[in-house]
Structure 1
Amino acid sequence: MAISNFAEELLARIGPGGVRVGADVDPRHRHDWTVEMPPDGAPLAVVYPRNAEEVSAVLRLCQAHRRPVVVQGGLTGLAGGATPVDGCVVLSMERMRAIEEVDTDAGTMTVQAGVTLQTVQEAADAAGLLFPLDLGARGSCLIGGNLSTNAGGNRVLRYGMMRDLVLGLEVVLADGTVVTSLNKMLKNNAGYDLKHLFIGTEGTLGVVTRAVLRLHPKPRSVCTALCAVADYDAVLRLLRLARERLGGTLSAFEVMWPEVYRRAEAALGRPAPLPHGHGAYVLVEAMGSDQAPDQERFEAILQRSFEDGIVADAVLAQSGEQTAAFWTIRDTCGEFGRIIAPAVGFDVSIPVGRIGEFVTLCQDRLAARWPDAESVYFGHVADGNIHIGVKVAEDPLPVHAIDVVVYEAVQEFHGSVSAEHGIGVLKKEFLPYSVSPEAIALMRTVKAALDPNGILNPGKVVDPVTA
């Protein structure tokens, strides 16, 4: 079938309002947040389906003609997972934006994959409940993309990753088969839990079209403090104390190393809440059910941390505005474009007890290779996740060489090259640094079983089995 005839059949199945072809393709579909497709390539078409049936029709056609398919959400990904390949059909989920049901008794919300995270948060809040996943891109990222990458964010410590916030899925397979399992029960052991094949697999095994999300009771209290400590050993002591005394109410434990804290302050153009000169800065937050007693307990833990010589200085938020100001400092750390541009960014996980050693090793090895190297470190820490920004004076920036230095250190610490951003194309080369050959072989076997012709998001995560 000629390309023009293929495009005509797409138009016939979806209708002209849901398809853009050739020169009519919006340039924004050529990239995710960080990775653009090569200038000599282009998508054949972009399709904007409205439901699973239209997704199925597109995939059946693409399967019949071995046409690659790349699914896109809000285009906020940071690993190239949604970057098109030449001649592909892009499936943009942005028209699938319905919230179909909020079940307050079951504590669930059923949504289409194109709903933004912020819309889900607001709908849960209006129902007196909480959808706890939270990212800086909340207003743009789509639930389908959050599922595709198994998104994490700031509250993983208490509520888990996206995988922990989903009860059921509707998925369209590579051959167009629609598999609907919109389970609303927390307990369901009726066979394999197939949803996990599609969460965190970046659209390489199927296309998520609907999801049943798990909601939680809305917290009635929030207690937040910014603490200064001497070193990473003190960070670990504070974490142990917070876990022991706050238990399940501990919702965030964010650590900033001195250089990233200083640069965030400069980027904001106003004094930071705590003075410089300390070894690390920790944002601690707890969410509970009763503000007065929760605040009293939180303050008692801070007092204990001073008495035990763990915390050198601290400031306790006295209002929602102060809490937001603390979080602004933390969130600004992640804006490498403002604080350390041009930089190579990393999203890695390291066993919690060894993160301090890891940061020192990274700094030493970067300095040994590039004496002028600058690097900044911050992260969720209690879940092992560290974000890193690295800048050197070479022009162009030696991205691959920096990648090798950092990921070799991750490998030595038996960490993960991707904590929450996915593999996509940027980290594909380094997947073996964290995953055994046997596990990668099993991934390829699963890929071959569900997508034997390799049409779904080709070139991402792992290559298919070859003869």
Structure 2
Amino acid sequence: MGIIERLQQCLDSQSLIVGEALRAHPACIYLIPKAIIRPGSTEELAAAMTVCHELGQTVVTRGGGSGLVGGTVCEGEDILLSLERMNRIESIDVLGRTATVQAGVPLQALQDAAAAKALFFPLDLGARGSATLGGNLATNAGGNRVIRYGMTRDMVLGLEVVLSDGRIISAMNSVIKNNSGYDLKHLFVGSEGTLGIITRAVMRLQPAPLSENTALVAVSSFDRLVRLLGQADQHLGGAMSAFEVMWQSYYEAICQGGKRHRYPIRDSYPFYVLIESLGANQEADNQRFAAALEALFEQGLIEDAVLTKSRREAEALWAIRDDVEALMSLFPYFVFDVSVPLAEMESYVAEVEAGVKAAWPEDQCCIVFGHLGDGNLHFVIRAAGEFEQVREQVNEIVYEPLRSRKGVISAEHGIGLEKRPYLNISRSQDEIELMKLIKRSFDPKGILNPGKIFEA
């Protein structure tokens, strides 16, 4: 009896898609897998994985589909696993400030549910409407507020995971302090579905902010930009929640001459920074925020500023930062997500920009933006030529300069397939061998997301 027949014995038609019905699923635009498993519960998934493990069937887990590194690429012989039906927020504990959620819950759904209880889930990124919490956990997503609240890893208290052989590991811890042996959840967070399948989680919530202040400021040099980061945080007394930097290349590409977004600051500057502060007293925090901007002006760190007066105005500024869809007109392009120490950042960006211009003097563009406060930069690079050849050349231009600067090839999107050849830039051979040992221990048959992060 084959894998499909065996799965049909333990899954109903809602939980297993096969044959021509596969083509109707949104995950099957480019490649058609052998089947799609859509479990309605952890127990259903465990039963399916028991069968897959017995028969050596490879399984690729897919979240919201917003990843950028080929982490959910499915070959024709793979089975695709979607947790889209496991999308319930099971409970919100107001007293303990936790949320128990299934892995298929969209990020924005948890944000909204927490807000309805006067609580706050601080993870935030542009794909909030489609990205799922399981995907956020599997890639250890970062986003806009890492500078204050940390990565997804810092927001999870407990996990439930199905291992490759169908065993269920339920470590749904709900307290902040738990030093009872190894903290197993951190093995699965950021593992990109290669060690186990996250099905449920206990997420840590925060008190809802009672005040919010946002400004867009213009900065004339990178040296002043770095000094601004430290001084803004100091003047705001630790309340700064975001420090998002747009190089002029990004600002102009998104605003498109004022046709797509009205220019908040019309004059041309090398850098534009979104500064956000969250607090507990709107009137007092308004005064503190305005005083901080005034002090930064007096220190010569900012040239111009727009201070928002309403949530609507703040959303208009954030729309510029989040509107990466505006870059679709440049397609085909290559997107990068790297980290580099602040002391190395200016020279690194200059080297990448120079490398792109030297390789393609005429038809190219290099657009830069990033979170900066956590060292994270994003590049969007377009160059003329045959796609695969250009991609390999652009990858070398972006990744190789990181080696000497102790930079990181992936800040928040993972490794997947796209970055696998460059893992040794950020990780030593001993580290990679240890990762492979862990992989073999958890998934001895190599059936979970095969070929991702490194070759078996």
* TM-score, length of structure 1 as denominator length: 0.94
| Residues matched between the structures, number | 452
Structure 1 partner of 2:22:
25
State the alpha-carbon separation in 1 of the partners of residues 132 and 66 from structure 2. Answer: 9
Aligned counterpart for 1:459 among listed residues 431, 451, 456: 451
Q: 1:97 to 1:204 in 2, by over 3 A?
A: same
Q: Is the 8 A contact 2:87 2:106 kept in 1?
A: yes
Structure 2 partner of 1:132:
122
**Could you say what secondary structure the match of 1:423 adopts?**
coil
Aligned counterpart for 1:106 among listed residues 96, 102, 105: 96
Structure 2 partner of 1:242:
232
Q: How far apart are residue 64 of structure 1 and its match?
A: 0.5
1:183 aligns with 2:173: yes
1:306 aligns with 2:297: yes
**Could you say what secondary structure the match of 1:62 adopts?**
helix
1:271 aligns with 2:268: no
Q: Deviation per CA, 1:113-147, whole angstroms, max 9, x where unpaired?
A: 11111111111011110011112111111111111
Structure 2 partner of 1:196:
186
Q: Is the 8 A contact 1:417 1:434 kept in 2?
A: yes
Instruction: Determine what percentage of the aligned residue pairs are the same residue.
Output: 44
Aligned counterpart for 1:64 among listed residues 54, 61, 64: 54
1:440 aligns with 2:432: yes
Q: How far apart are residue 374 of structure 1 and its match?
A: 1.3
Structure 2 partner of 1:391:
382
**Could you say what secondary structure the match of 1:102 adopts?**
strand
State the alpha-carbon separation in 2 of the partners of residues 276 and 428 from structure 1. Answer: 41
Structure 2 partner of 1:295:
286
State the alpha-carbon separation in 2 of the partners of residues 239 and 22 from structure 1. Answer: 55
Q: Name whichever of 21-30 and 187-196 sits farther off.
A: 21-30
1:206 aligns with 2:196: yes
1:87 aligns with 2:77: yes
State the alpha-carbon separation in 2 of the partners of residues 396 and 156 from structure 1. Answer: 34
State the alpha-carbon separation in 2 of the partners of residues 391 and 417 from structure 1. Answer: 19
* TM-score, length of structure 2 as denominator length: 0.96
1:381 aligns with 2:372: yes
Q: 1:327 to 1:320 in 2, by over 3 A?
A: same
Q: Deviation per CA, 1:267-286, whole angstroms, max 9, x where unpaired?
A: 75343111232121111110
Aligned counterpart for 1:225 among listed residues 215, 219, 235: 215
Q: Which amino acid aligns with 2:6?
A: E
Structure 1 partner of 2:12:
15
Structure 2 partner of 1:251:
241
Instruction: Show structure 2 runs of 5+ residues with no match.
Output: none
Q: Deviation per CA, 1:32-72, whole angstroms, max 9, x where unpaired?
A: xxxx54xxxx4111011011111111111011010001111
**Could you say what secondary structure the match of 1:311 adopts?**
coil
**Could you say what secondary structure the match of 2:213 adopts?**
strand
Q: How far apart are residue 339 of structure 1 and its match?
A: 5.7
Q: Which amino acid aligns with 1:238?
A: L
Q: How far apart are residue 223 of structure 1 and its match?
A: 0.8
1:362 aligns with 2:349: no
Q: How far apart are residue 247 of structure 1 and its match?
A: 3.2
Structure 1 partner of 2:318:
327
Q: How far apart are residue 30 of structure 1 and its match?
A: 3.5
Q: Which amino acid aligns with 1:169?
A: L
Q: 1:348 to 1:250 in 2, by over 3 A?
A: same
Q: How far apart are residue 101 of structure 1 and its match?
A: 1.1
Structure 2 partner of 1:351:
341
Structure 1 partner of 2:41:
51
State the alpha-carbon separation in 2 of the partners of residues 229 and 76 from structure 1. Answer: 31
Q: Is the 8 A contact 1:263 1:339 kept in 2?
A: no
1:116 aligns with 2:106: yes
1:156 aligns with 2:146: yes
Q: Name whichever of 259-268 and 75-84 sits farther off.
A: 259-268
Q: How far apart are residue 336 of structure 1 and its match?
A: 6.0
Q: Which amino acid aligns with 1:311?
A: I
Q: Name whichever of 210-219 and 348-357 sits farther off.
A: 348-357
Map 1:418-437 to 2 at 5 A.
Answer: 418-437=410-429
Q: Which amino acid aligns with 2:207?
A: P
Instruction: Show structure 1 runs of 5+ residues with no match.
Output: none
State the alpha-carbon separation in 1 of the partners of residues 387 and 147 from structure 2. Answer: 38
Q: Deviation per CA, 1:1-34, whole angstroms, max 9, x where unpaired?
A: 4xxx321221110112211113321353236xxx
Q: How far apart are residue 354 of structure 1 and its match?
A: 2.1
Q: How far apart are residue 185 of structure 1 and its match?
A: 0.4
Q: Name whichever of 78-87 and 442-451 sits farther off.
A: 78-87
Q: Deviation per CA, 1:155-184, whole angstroms, max 9, x where unpaired?
A: 111111110110000001111110101100
State the alpha-carbon separation in 2 of the partners of residues 279 and 98 from structure 1. Answer: 45
Q: Which amino acid aligns with 1:357?
A: S
State the alpha-carbon separation in 1 of the partners of residues 270 and 396 from structure 2. Answer: 27
